[in-house]
C-alpha cells in the first residue's frame, strides 16, 4: 500500500516540526485546500495542505521559509518542494475565474482550476526566464543587482517576452541590463525556480562587443571576473551558481 506524506503551507512558508522535518504523516486539519504534489505511482504519495496565513499551527511546530529549506535540499527534494510551492501559490492566486469572475473548483484529473460557470480552465502558471553567463575567454561577466546583498554578483536573468525565442531574450536582456552584445548563445540546462513560478533556462554566451553600461535600475554594477578573486556568489543550489561553477571548471 502506498504511504502518504503531507506538506503544510502557511502562506508561502512551510510548517516544520521540532526536529525541522517538513514531511508530516497527517493532513493539516484546518487546511483550506489540499492538492496532490506527487505523480501516479510515487511512493510515498505527497500532498500539500494550504492553511490560512493566520491559521493555527500545532504548538511544537514552527514555520520556515522555502528558501531556507531549499538551501539544504538535495536534487529530488528541491524538485518536490519547488513543485509543491508553485502549486500552492497557483491555487491560492486562482480562486476565481479570470474570464468571468466565478469561484473556481479544482479539477482532479488534470490539476486545473476549473470554472463551472463558463467552462474555462486555469492551469498552474509557469513563467519562462533566461539566465546567462557571458564569457570572454578566461573571464566572465557578473552583475550586482539592486536587490542583492552587499558584494554579491551573479549571472544576468530576465523573463522571456510574448513572441520571443529564448535566444532572442538572452541578447535583449544582456543589451538592456549591461549594454553589451553577445553571440554563440548556447543552452546549458534548466531549473524550476519557485519564486514564484519561473522556469529558468540556463545559457552560456560569448561576449561580442560593447562597453559595460549597467542600466542603473535593475543592475547597479557589472564587472569581468577571472578565476580569482571572485565576489560573493549565489548559493550552490541556484542555477546561476551552477553556470558559474561550470565556467570555472572549464578553466582548469
Residues that bind Zn ion (CB under 5 A): 97, 99-100, 102, 115, 117-118, 120
**Residue 94 vs 144, nearer CB to Zn ion:** 94
The pairing of strands 181-193 and 62-65 is unpaired
The nearest distance, CB 90 to Zn ion, in angstroms, is 17
The full DSSP string for 151-192 is TB-B-EEEEPPTT--HHHHHHHHHHHHH--EEEEEEEEEEEE
The nearest distance, CB 197 to Zn ion, in angstroms, is 21
Residue 112's nearest CA partner among 82, 90, 127 is 90
**Residue 67 vs 99, nearer CB to Zn ion:** 99
The nearest distance, CB 124 to Zn ion, in angstroms, is 17
Residue 92 Cα distances to 15, 39, 50, 204, angstroms: 17, 21, 8, 35
**Residue 120 vs 237, nearer CB to Zn ion:** 120
**Residue 100 vs 126, nearer CB to Zn ion:** 100
Determine contact, residues 51/10, Cβ cutoff 8 Å: yes
The nearest distance, CB 93 to Zn ion, in angstroms, is 16
Amino acid at each position: 500500500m502506498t504511504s502518504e506524506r503531507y506538506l503544510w503551507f502557511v502562506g508561502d512558508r512551510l510548517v516544520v516540526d521540532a526536529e525541522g522535518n517538513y514531511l508530516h504523516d497527517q493532513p493539516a486539519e484546518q487546511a483550506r485546500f489540499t492538492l496532490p504534489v506527487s505523480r501516479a505511482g510515487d511512493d510515498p504519495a505527497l500532498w500539500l495542505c494550504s492553511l490560512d496565513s493566520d491559521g493555527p499551527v500545532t504548538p511544537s511546530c514552527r514555520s520556515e521559509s522555502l528558501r531556507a529549506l531549499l538551501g539544504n535540499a538535495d536534487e529530488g527534494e528541491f524538485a518536490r518542494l519547488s513543485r509543491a510551492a508553485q502549486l500552492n501559490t497557483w491555487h491560492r492566486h486562482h480562486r476565481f475565474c479570470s474570464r468571468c469572475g466565478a469561484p473556481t473548483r479544482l479539477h482532479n484529473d488534470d490539476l486545473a482550476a476549473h470554472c463551472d460557470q463558463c467552462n474555462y480552465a486555469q492551469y498552474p502558471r509557469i513563467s519562462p526566464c533566461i539566465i546567462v553567463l557571458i564569457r570572454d575567454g578566461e573571464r566572465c561577466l557578473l552583475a550586482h543587482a539592486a536587490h542583492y546583498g552587499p558584494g554579491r554578483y551573479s549571472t544576468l536573468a530576465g523573463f522571456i517576452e510574448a513572441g520571443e525565442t529564448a535566444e532572442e531574450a538572452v541578447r535583449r536582456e544582456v543589451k538592456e541590463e549591461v549594454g553589451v552584445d553577445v553571440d554563440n548563445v548556447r543552452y546549458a540546462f534548466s531549473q524550476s525556480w519557485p519564486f514564484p513560478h519561473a522556469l529558468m533556462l540556463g545559457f552560456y554566451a560569448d561576449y561580442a562587443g560593447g562597453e559595460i553600461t549597467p542600466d542603473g535600475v535593475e543592475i547597479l554594477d557589472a564587472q569581468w571576473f577571472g578565476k580569482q578573486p571572485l565576489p560573493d556568489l549565489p548559493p550552490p543550489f541556484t542555477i546561476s551558481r551552477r553556470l558559474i561553477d561550470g565556467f570555472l571548471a572549464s578553466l582548469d
